[in-house]
Structure formats: C-alpha cells, structure tokens
A and B are shown apart, each in its own frame.
Chain A
C-alpha cells in the first residue's frame, strides 16, 4: 500500500517550520518557504491554531494528474496521489489550478510545481511528532 502524509497531531505544533525547511532542503534543494510542499501557518477563525496544508493524496482519478498535459504527474502505483517527474514538466501550472485544496505550490525561479513526493522528510524533522507517514487506505 502507498504511504501518504498525515498531520494528526497539529495541536502540538509550535510553528517552527522545521518541516518546511526539511522539504526545501532535502527534496527541493532550494531554501524558501515557497519551495516546500508542506505549508504551516496559523489559521484564524474562532479556533485559531497552527495548521498544516498538505497533499491528501486523492484517489483516482487524481485531479492534478488529470490536468497534467505531459507525463510529469502520473498516478502512483497502488492508487492514492501521484508521482512527479520534473524532467517531463513544461511549467504550464495546470496542476496548481486543478488541486481541489490548493496545496500545490510554485517555484517561481524554476517555473515548476512544488508537490509532495510522500518521502516523510518533514515528519523526520518535526520535533513534536505532529506529522506522520501512514499506510494509505485504497478504495
């Protein structure tokens, strides 16, 4: 079964952005808050708190995969989410628009998307165990 990212314990989050820095450092190799596929922010509303905007790994048909005109985004083996191949990406941004929860970021300098690759580096560098890579349930 494929692994997907979950953020089950965000009430413990201290807002250090260590997870974002880990994604930027380990996966995208470019440091900025915008070169991280996980986005931590404080959220307003009557229950103001820290939240994680993460890819929830849609089941097929996966909207970003459907929108991608090339083979940059393809369905992941075992269902749930996508596989990203940067070499195939033409920078059209259609995946960004297609994401139903708007969690695909954009690296302006590279002109490429910032998507979750389900590697778990963010969880590895979370000091409070807020994040977890879990076995996905497949419908």
Chain B
C-alpha cells in the first residue's frame, strides 16, 4: 500500500488452503484502508441470506496506509457478519498484528470457507500454510498462544491471533485474542473464526520497505507527531493511570453504570478506581508495536492457594471497560475479584463487556424470579459474589445448562426467550460500555456501526455539548463517526485521535506520497459512513426506539432521566438525515 498505488489483499480459502493475492487499485483510491477497506471487502462478499456462522461468510482484516510507519498507528480493522447482532460486525485490535501483516507484505486479509478440521493459519511472507490444531482443541487463549509460539518462527516480531474454547463453541460474544493483551473484542469475531474451524492465525514477515522519496519530510513529521504523543497532554491519561482514570469522575457525576444500570453510582468505586489499581496491583505497562504510550496496564493478580504462604500469581491487563463490566456492573468492589473475573473470561476467549452485561442481566432476572438456579446448574447469582460469577463464566463459556446456553447467545436473546427485555443493558443488540452519561451515549451505541462507545464518542458529547439540543446531538454523532472513520481507515488507535486531526493525517499521507486534502478526507469519511450504513441495513440493521430497554428510561443520568419521547425525536432527526442521503 505504501507508495504502491494499490491495496494488496491476501485471499485465503480455508476449505482448501488455497491462497492468492489481489492488488486493488480501486480500494487504494476510494477506501483509504482500515475501516474503509475492511467494510468494502466485506460488502463485496458477505451473504445477506446466510447465517453469520455459515462457512461461506467472509472475514476481512485491513491495515491502513500509515500502519506502523507513524506513531500509534497500530490497529487492524476486522469486518464480518456479527453472530451476536446478526448484522454488520466491525472490531479493531492492536498488538503486533498490524505490523506483522505489514512486514509480511499485505495490507488486507480476506478469509472465506471453513477448514475441514480445527486448524491454524501461518502467514510468513509469501508462504501461507494451514496446519492442524487438533491438539489445541479446548485450549484457553493464553496457553494456545504459548504453544503456537513454540511452533512457528519469527520470535519477537510475529503476531498470534487465537480463539479460546468459547470461540470453538461459537459463543456469540466470543472474541479473538491478539498477542495476549489485545483483542478483537466485540461482536463475536471469535465465534465466526470458530465456525471456520480456525483456532489461530500466526503472522510473521521479513519484507522491509524502503522509505519513499522525500523521506526527510516523513522523518520530520514523525518526530513532530512523536513529540505531540509523548510531550503534550493530549494522550496523558492513557499512559498515566490509563482509562480507569474515568472510574472516580464518572462515579462522582453519577455516570458509572452499576448493578445492571439500576444506578449510576457505585458505593465501592474507590476500591476499583484507576488510582487504587495503580497503587495496589499495577506492575508494568505494555505497548502495541509502534506506540510509545503503552496504555496496556498490567496488574499482578496474586492469591494464596494453600496454607504456608503458598501464592500463585498471574498478570492480568485491565482497562476502564473491564473494571466496569467485571466490577461496578456486577456490584464487585474488590480488585482481586475483578482481576479474577477478567482473567477467567479472557482465558475462555469471551468479550469481557458482553459477558459482564449478560451476567448482570441474569443476576437481576434471578432476583426477580424470571429465571432460577434450577435452570443454571443450581447456581444462584448474587451481586458482588465473585465465586458464583466465576462458576457462571464457566457455564456460559461451555454453553452448559439451560440458562448458560441462552446467555451464551447474549442477554438480548436470553431476555427475548425468558422475558425481561426491559432491563437488558444493551443497545443495538450489544451490551453497553461503562458510561451512563445521557442521550448521546445511548443513541451513539444504537446508531454506531460497532454499537460501541468508540464509534462516535457519545459519552463525551453528553459531557461537553452545549447547547444540548436534539439537532446538535444527532449531527455531532454523525459528524464524529464520519471523522473517526478517517482515523480508523488509517488504522490509527482512537486513543491518539487528539493527535491525528485531519490536517495531520493529510500531511502524513503526503509525506509518504499519497495526496489527500483535508476536504477530500472529510468527504471520504462521510461517504464511507453512509456506505457502511447501507451495508448494515442490507444485513438487517434498524434504528428503532423499541430496541432500547425500558431500563434506559428509568435510571437517571447527569443529563437527567432520559425520556422516550425525546429519544424518539432524536431518532426521527437521524432518519431524516439518513433519508436525505440514502433516500
């Protein structure tokens, strides 16, 4: 992609192991990379009439033109049909996957078909090989990584993406672990890979690429961006306390979802704050390749296992969303308990946020008598009871027991079956992130392509937008998502979104020989935004008030109690904006 005039796509048919490359000049010109390329590749090959877990369904991965060659351009974007929502699925991961794919000489990867037996894919420059993973069946994500590290070359710089037992069992919110501490977390990529019998992908590359002409401009801009990343306040919060810095301020303003979003305030927030983790458990930080921030906060999870001062310890990465989903949302106010659940959910290969929202719904459903322990292998869930939640995680990961099976399809499916959809903590079919700030957060989750807080930053719009009018909320959500599409089409980590304004992106592209003005980039972002909505609608996406739970209109936010009438007006405005472009 770099200075080449095309996007090089590696296409692998997992049914046969056959592979070939395509150099796509059209994608290079029109879709930039990352989100643009992945959504476009998916749109070309996804089957509207087939189940998300049908072997024929494709999975697309894409890097961007700036991948690895500028600071904090670390992500790979995956696009697939989500088994959790049934519609469009997009998920981003860091680690070493993006750099390894770049060094192997590919900008994008398109997988189709299903392997005949459980397998792992090795991509090493021009060699692409499907190997049996028969001995890895049921292995957790950490152990799978360790075994494959012993089996493939490229120590130090390779990337290993893998699924856990939950992905193999097609748990609908199973994730794909990348290099231990990063994930394609949301919307069930792990289940899709499981449906393809693909346990892992190991990527390693040795193809250096020469600096483009005019590399002096590139080097100078790199140094400037580097200084902005490290020596200004723009990214400070990510390398100091990390995202859990949010726990206390959100709690103060009543915006920390707690007890299945029955309240926005958690009495024990001080115990699980970013400050408390940093002082008590933080042992080191880690970074994705090419990111000088090192936002990955790694805790020591240390616990006794026998009398006589016998301790076992593991390293667990934590983040705001995980501390919320395995903490306040479940009423867990102790750090070892939070770390324990994060580790167990992660090893099984499930998305921690979705697992947390499923457990939270189940706890409330048990409290209300909608479901009972006899449907859950005798397990009676209680707020804050880590031991019971730990057993519940195992039941869900294995799809064991009647309730375990339903929960493994997500709380929305479970609530549809048992009743109780008024109190799912989900919008658009997926559990919400750890904010309870107001209309923009909820609407942003519903409208966002990933049904994620990162699509459009609704939580920040709630906190900053004045005047907070209906039109302004909707327009900001659309504008923010369209601008973030430019950033994620570069595969820039969104933590660096304050560093990479469109002007900087335009300059960075120019320094490597790609000319895109700011206006041009903005127009491309808007085009991809609406094209992606067209694709999402093809796959079944609808923005409907009735898909929001009653719970969201009960629990007060810093913007007051949300009113269904106002939410309906916001949706009408969105529909009008949509109709103006898509008809």
Contact = CB atoms under 8 A, between A and B. Distances in A.
A binds B: yes
Interface of A: 14-18, 21, 24-26, 28-35, 39-42, 107-109, 125, 127-128
Given A21-B68, A127-B292, A14 B207 contact: no
B156 A33 contact: yes
A33 B210 CA distance: 13
A14 B285 contact: yes
26 contacts: A14-B284, A14-B285, A14-B287, A15-B286, A15-B287, A15-B294, A16-B291, A16-B293, A17-B289, A18-B71, A18-B290, A21-B68, A21-B290, A25-B211, A29-B210, A29-B215, A30-B211, A32-B205, A32-B209, A33-B103, A34-B206, A41-B155, A107-B208, A108-B206, A109-B207, A127-B230
B103 to A, nearest CB: 5
Contacts of B495: none
Nearest to B102: A31
Contact of A26 (B208, B219, B290): B219
B151 to A, nearest CB: 15
B512 to A, nearest CB: 11
Contact of B210 (A15, A21, A30): A30
A33 B102 CA distance: 11
A28 B209 CA distance: 11
A52 to B, nearest CB: 11
Contact of A35 (B99, B205, B208, B286): B208
A30 B294 contact: no
Contacts of B296: 14
B541 interface: no
Nearest to A125: B226
Contact of B294 (A14, A33, A41, A42): A14
B156 A31 contact: no
Contacts of B210: 29-30
A32 B292 contact: no
Interface string B271-314: 00000000000001111111111101000000000000000000
Contacts of A21: 68-69, 290
B156 A30 contact: no
A21 B209 CA distance: 12
B6 interface: no
Interface in B553-576: none
A24 B219 CA distance: 11
A16 B156 contact: no
Given A16-B287, A127-B294, A31 B206 contact: no
Interface in B365-384: none
A31 B289 contact: no
B157 interface: yes
A125 to B, nearest CB: 6
B530 interface: no
Contact of A39 (B156, B205, B288): B156
A3 to B, nearest CB: 21
Contact of B69 (A31, A41, A107): A31
A25 B210 CA distance: 9
Contacts of B71: 18
Contact of A29 (B211, B222, B292, B294): B211
User: 10 closest A-B pairs (Cβ-Cβ)?
Assistant: A32-B208, A14-B294, A16-B287, A41-B156, A127-B292, A30-B208, A33-B157, A14-B287, A29-B211, A35-B208
Nearest to B156: A41
Contacts of A42: 156
A113 B156 CA distance: 19
B237 to A, nearest CB: 16
A108 B126 CA distance: 15
A83 B290 CA distance: 29
A42 B160 CA distance: 15
Given A21-B290, A109-B207, 5 more contacts: A16-B289, A31-B69, A39-B156, A42-B156, A109-B208
Nearest to A109: B208
A109 B208 CA distance: 8
Contact of B208 (A16, A34, A40): A34
Nearest to A41: B156
B294 A32 contact: no
A15 B182 CA distance: 14
